[in-house]
Amino acid sequence: MSFTTCPKIHLILFALLAACGDSGQGPTSDSDATTGNGTGDDATTDDDAATGNAATTGTAAEPGTAADPGATAEPGTTDDPDEPPNACPLAEVPCIDAAIQDLSLHDDKVSDAEVTSAQEGADWVSRVDASAGGTMGAAMNPWVYLRFTDAGLERVDLDDVAALESGAWDIAAKRYGIRVNSGSSGPSCVTVAAPAGTYADLDAAPPDAEFAPEDYYDDACVLQEDGSGLPGSPAYRMAGWWGYTGCVTTTGFPYALRLADGRAVKLVIEAYYEGGQDDCNDNGTMGTGPALMTWRWSFLP
């Protein structure tokens, strides 16, 4: 029997040979498998993976950047101003325009003030540079923002205006001004109590009813002053830590702070001056290194 006499068989065999035969292109090449097609236009190539085009690079990040897993912040600082765990919901800060003027707040500067902490028994002793460029320069420079941590007091790198929308800080300082992050001062819920007695006597958090947020503006956004006699000095919750007799004296009044995560801290300002605080307190003699403060604090049970 010939193909001529059986045309149907001829057509069937021809179709089978065409389906199973060599198309002339051969199998997919290694380069096609890598790129996804013959040109690499539709998938990431090995070169892209090496250079970072359309893929995460394998090169080391610049030291100190967030992408560098080995980056370490400067001791006593943090470059991670994220919300602390279990923080309260942030609230809108009232009287912002007034605060920007009255507190000399800035949106273009971040404090680089030195903050150090060392443990003394159960306490932390923290040195805080709140000098802000000195008496004449303070109005032009930012506050230093801080938070209490298990590793000591840390600086939080925020400008003043950004701090009005951030729950990352607990307390801020500039010259003799100390304010906490709540109420008139910030959007968080850090509150202050002023218990009687001494720092050493304070071994437990006061009742919740004794804690209060910052509240130094009235309903008309008029600044409420602290009664120190210095014009424009806000009635911060911790304003009682200092006095003035020709120099800045320390009263030794202890404070308790309830942080946003629920923990409580006790705090006393031991010195405003780097040197000579006792002479200032006893004799009214000006100390040296103003606003290079010493804070003693610890977490309360």
Domain that holds residue 163: 77-300
- How would residue 236 be classed by pLDDT, with cut points 50, 70 and 90? very high
Within a domain: 282: yes
Question: What DSSP assignment string belongs to 189-248?
Answer: B-EEE--SS-TTT--SPPPGGG-B----B-TT-PBPB-SSSSTT-B--TTGGGEEESSSE
Report the C-alpha gap between 11 and 258 in whole angstroms: 91
Reported as a single tens digit per residue, the pLDDT across 34-74 is 333 333 333 333 333 333 333 333 333 333 333 343 444 55
Within a domain: 131: yes
- How would residue 162 be classed by pLDDT, with cut points 50, 70 and 90? very high
Chain centroid, CA 78 distance in Å: 6
Domain count, the chain: 1
Within a domain: 35: no
Sheet with 177-180: list strands edge to edge.
77-78, 152-156, 144-149, 171-174, 177-180
Within a domain: 173: yes
Beta strands per DSSP E along 130-212: 144-149, 152-156, 171-174, 177-180, 191-193
Report the C-alpha gap between 184 and 293 in whole angstroms: 24
Within a domain: 14: no
Within a domain: 7: no
- Whole-number mean pLDDT of the chain? 81
Average pLDDT over residues 200-213: 97
- How would residue 85 be classed by pLDDT, with cut points 50, 70 and 90? low
Reported as a single tens digit per residue, the pLDDT across 209-223 is 999 999 999 999 999
Within a domain: 245: yes
